[in-house]
Structure formats: structure tokens, C-alpha cells
Chain A
Amino acid sequence: MRIIQSSEVAKSVIAKESLFILDVRNTDAFEDWKIEGERVRHLNVPYFDLLDGIEEIEDQLPKDEEILVVCAKEGSSILMAEILEEAGFSVGYLLGGMKAWSEYLEPVKIADLKSGGELYQFVRLGKGCLSYMVMSGGEAAIIDATRMTNVFTDFAKQRGVKITNVFDTHLHADHISGGRQIAKTMGATYWLPPKDAEEVVFEYAALEGDMSIQIGDTRIDIQALYSPGHTIGSTSLIVDDSYLMTGDILFIDSIGRPDLAGLAEDWVGDLRESLYSRYKKLSKDLTVLPAHFMIIDELNEDGSVSEKLGVLYEQNHGLNIEDEKEFRELVTGNLPPQPNAYEEIRLTNMGKIQPDEETQREMEIGPNRCAVR
């Protein structure tokens, strides 16, 4: 029996390799959220239905291919993998289960920057979160970091760069930010839009329009990019005059939802203004780098998630709704379910509650659901 790491699964999802998964979690959990990929095939049978034997599913399992057994934490998948191995199947189990999958970040290089330096995207395949690191002249900035802070600090250390600035484009509702923690550990400045920070209980630097911050030789330009709608403070960043970090306002195949702070009706106008006016004035050659992806089809060949702004104005349905009333209906009516524990996640990101690590994990279980399509 092979022990399979999340990193190996991530690489095979990105390479679009064939992968057979026996997911032994409850059907509800499986239907809510699973490992997805273009050539990933699943069989979901809860482990308790297999304790007496696997005869009933034997003919649904591949004989000439390794079976990846997956459960919530790994306990039942080890037991099931043992049973399958005894029956002659080639098996592996996912180390740490879906919990580990949810926390795994795959670093993907986006570009060498014009002014020197590099831009990396950290793809959280299990949850659809995207974080960024800009490295230039021995310094680094991190944007929309997840709570797995050591991934970012270790990466910076390996590259020999010092983290000087940490940004959150908005107050997140779907995942717990690691930004404040990284800034504290590294002695860096933590930036947050003040309009999203009215209730926070910690010190931060105000991220507002008309300012630009230098990272080594690279300019991170925040000018005129206050872009409310998903939250009232949402602010976009332009890096090196080429990359537009849209936070949760604009995604590749969808747009941000305005309701996660309970103010959908109030913010729908801001969202329309940001998408149909503010962004429209920007260069179509900017590469959009969002804070999320929703479906695995949004991944490029190399595993990155990005697209030219011009292309999005042609292809993203959410940017092509002429009628304002229709737009309003799309983003306020018929919304997908809200992310798991989103209210507690907002409180955590405000510093108002301090759940332990195990509770933080539980709070983040499931897909991110920050978009409307």
C-alpha cells in the first residue's frame, strides 16, 4: 500500500492524469466537496458500508490502475486500503485525508517581472483559494495569504527574500487569512482596506487608492483601484504595470458575490460600478489574477489561474450583462449556499475570536463559494 501525499495528487490533477478515487466519506460530505480534476473518476461508498467486505463494489474498481482511497482525516482510508490490498487491488491512501488536501498549496510561477523579480501564485486546489508572492530585489510581498503561513515563510526563506509587506485585498469570509500572522512573525507591514477593517481589533496599515508601495525594484501600484462590491473595502492591486489582482471582485469564469457581509442590496451597485466602469478603464492587456477559482476548468495548462482582462470582457458572462436589473437579479437572487462558517471566519479575520487550529480547519471545510455565475 502506498502513502500518497497531497502534492502528488495536485501534480496529477494539474497534469490531467487519469486518477481513480474511492472516497469513503459520507455521501453528504462527498457531494458537498471532493477532489476534482479533468480525468479524475470517483466511486463514493461510505466506509461503514464496506466493513463487512468489498464484494458489492469489486466490479466497479479498476484492476489495472492504482486506486486512491480518500476519507476525511485518513483513518478509515487506511483500513479500506488494507481490505482492498488483501483482495488483490493496487492501492494507496491520501495522507491526512481531505483535511490535508484542503490545506495543500501548489506554488506556480506566473512570470518574471519586467523590472526584475518573480511573481508566484499559490494554488489551494482543495478549496479554490489563490495567494500571491511578489519577489524583487531581496524583498517579498504576499497577497491574500491563507492560514498555512509556513508555506509562505518557508518559500521566502528558500529564495533568500525578506517579507516586507503583506496585503489582504478585503476581509475574507471563506477562509482564514494568514496575513496578520505572517506580518507579525516577519516584522512586515500588514495592509487591509480600512472600510473592511472597521471592526478589527488589531493594528494595520490602511490600504487605500492613490498609493503605491515599493517591493525591491518592483512597484505595486494601488492607485485608483478601490473596487468595492464583494465587500465595501475591496481593493485591487496592479503589480509591475502588468498584473491585476482582483481579490474576490472578478474571477475567470464568474464574478464576486455581494452578500457575505449581509449587505447584498447595498453593494450590488458598487459591484456593477467596479466591474462595468472602474475595471473597464484599465488596459485590456493586464493579466487578471483573482483570489479564487470555482471549478477546475479555470486552471491553465501549468496549473495557474489567470487570463487577460480583455479576454474576460469578451468571455465572462458576469461582465456582459447589459441590463442593470438583470445584473441585480444575478447577484442578489438565486445565490449559491454561503461558505461554511462564513460568519465565524469573518470574526476570526477581524481578530474578535481566536479559535484553535483544529477548529479553524473545521471552519474551512468545503468549497469557497465566493462567486456567482
Chain B
Amino acid sequence: MNTTTFLDAKGLACPMPIVRAKKAMKDMQTGEVLEIHTTDKGSVSDLTAWAASGNHEIKDQQQESDVFKFWIQKG
């Protein structure tokens, strides 16, 4: 996966992971990939719903111990 932008949102509580992701996405081009790491459990369903709502595509998703990792392609 070619990550264009990396966002460390570990330790941030809702709504900050999405607020940051949205900001990061703004500066990216369509087709570029945002890699985001979070620790807030709620961010999993929120990132999924947010991506769908913005027509972005989740290319990959992993969990390593307490960290959730997402690769989201800008739509």
C-alpha cells in the first residue's frame, strides 16, 4: 500500500480522529492514500461510516494490540 499521508491519532478521543482525518484528506488528491492509526474503539465504526459518507475507500484495515490502522483512499 502506497501511503501518501500518515496521521497518528493514537490517544485521541472522539471526535478528534475524524476531525484530523478530514483535515488531512483536504490537502490530498483523489486516489492518494491516508494511513491513520487510532486507539479509540469508537473510531473503527466512525472511520468506516465517515469514509462511506465521503465516498472514500478503505483499502485495508488492521489491528495490532490496541492500535487500529486504516488505509483510506481519497475518493
Contacts and interface: CB of A to CB of B under 8 A. Distances in A.
Interface of A: 26-29, 46-49, 51, 71-73, 75-76, 79, 362
A362 B42 CA distance: 10
Contacts, number: 40
Contacts of A79: 15, 19
Interface string B2-22: 000000000001111011001
A32 to B, nearest CB: 11
A48 B14 contact: no
Nearest to B48: A26
A252 to B, nearest CB: 33
B13 A73 contact: yes
Contacts of A46: 46, 49-50, 53
Range of interface residues on B (Cβ < 8 Å): 10 to 19
Nearest to B18: A48
B41 interface: yes
A56 B19 CA distance: 19
Nearest to A49: B53
A26 B49 contact: yes
Interface of B: 13-16, 18-19, 22, 41-42, 45-46, 49-50, 53
Contacts of B41: 362
Nearest to B53: A49
Given A47-B15, A48-B18, A48-B46, 14 more contacts: A26-B49, A28-B49, A46-B50, A48-B50, A48-B53, A49-B53, A51-B18, A71-B14, A73-B13, A73-B14, A75-B13, A75-B15, A79-B19, A362-B41
Contacts of B15: 47-48, 51, 75-76, 79
Interface of A is mostly: helix
Given A48-B22, A51-B19, A72 B49 contact: no
Given A73-B13, A75-B13, A47 B18 contact: yes
Contacts of A48: 15, 18, 22, 46, 49-50, 53
B45 A29 contact: yes
Given A48-B22, A75-B15, A28 B53 contact: no
21 contacts: A26-B45, A27-B49, A29-B45, A46-B46, A46-B53, A47-B15, A48-B15, A48-B18, A48-B22, A48-B49, A48-B53, A51-B18, A51-B22, A72-B14, A73-B13, A75-B13, A75-B16, A76-B14, A79-B15, A79-B19, A362-B41
